[in-house]
């Protein structure tokens, strides 16, 4: 049992030690550690898989550059990221001519495992990198700490499509990435997984990374 020891000296009495139970604090820290371990495992898996996938799906991007210009003209907000619809996201994930976009789910762990986007190609399964670990609590993105720096370095030069439930968290996430100098392309999927499902696109449930 983790306890926090508070020492103080009384001027007219002998020294006493007050021990306050840190049970609740211990449970909270354990929970956060669990999420961090899961996140690190995901990054390690990604590190192993990406080189293999990259070697097999490398395509000429000359044509894709022209197609992306059209998207930028209509959706680029001038704040460093690009808003796209669920239809555009599905199209981009389906196409092999416009390079490769990586799906990033920024929802909490319980949301991710309950239901997430089912990408057209198995190698495009959505990676998990949460905005917050608990509702209104801390998280790798909202805290803008070392894990965010690792994420940005790992996906440097990549194209990522971020989504959450309704696009509220991804709107904030996209701006945080831009403000921190992310060197890649950020696509913010408007409407989130709610709109994705409403338009009849597939989802999957269960544990990660594959079901």
For 175-191, b/e burial (b = at least 16 CB within 10 A) is bbbeeeebeebbbbbbb
pLDDT string in tens for the chain (211-residue length):
333 333 333 333 444 433 334 555 556 566 666 667 666 665 655 654 444 444 444 444 444 444 443 333 334 445 799 999 999 999 999 987 878 899 999 999 999 999 999 999 888 899 999 999 999 999 999 999 999 999 999 999 999 999 999 999 999 999 999 999 999 999 999 999 999 999 999 999 987 554 4
CATH homologous superfamily for 61-204? Answer: Rhodanese-like domain (3.40.250.10)
Contact 75, 38 (CB under 8 A): no
Place of tokens 């309704």: 166
Please tell me the distance from the alpha carbon of residue 132 to that of residue 137, in angstroms, as a whole number. Answer: 6
Contact 185, 159 (CB under 8 A): yes
Please tell me the distance from the alpha carbon of residue 26 to that of residue 15, in angstroms, as a whole number. Answer: 27
């Amino acid at each position: 049992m983790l306890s926090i020891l508070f020492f103080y000296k009384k001027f007219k009495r002998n020294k006493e030690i007050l021990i306050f139970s840190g049970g609740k604090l211990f449970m909270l820290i354990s929970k956060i550690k669990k999420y961090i371990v899961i996140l690190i495992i995901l990054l390690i898996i990604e590190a192993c898989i990406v080189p293999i996938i990259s070697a097999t799906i490398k395509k000429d991007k000359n044509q894709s550059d022209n197609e992306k210009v059209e998207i930028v003209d209509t959706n680029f907000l001038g704040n460093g990221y690009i808003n796209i619809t669920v239809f555009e996201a599905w199209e981009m994930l389906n196409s092999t001519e416009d390079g490769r976009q990586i799906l990033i789910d920024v929802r909490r762990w319980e949301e991710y495992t309950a239901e997430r986007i089912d990408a057209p190609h198995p190698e495009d399964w959505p990676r998990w990198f949460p905005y917050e670990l608990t509702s209104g609590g801390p998280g790798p993105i909202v805290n803008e700490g070392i894990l965010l720096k690792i994420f940005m370095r790992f996906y440097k030069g990549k194209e990522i499509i971020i989504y959450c439930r309704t696009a509220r968290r991804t709107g904030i996430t996209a701006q945080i990435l831009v403000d921190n100098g992310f060197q890649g392309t950020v696509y913010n999927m408007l409407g989130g997984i709610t709109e994705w499902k409403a338009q009849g696109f597939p989802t999957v449930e269960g544990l990660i990374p594959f079901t």
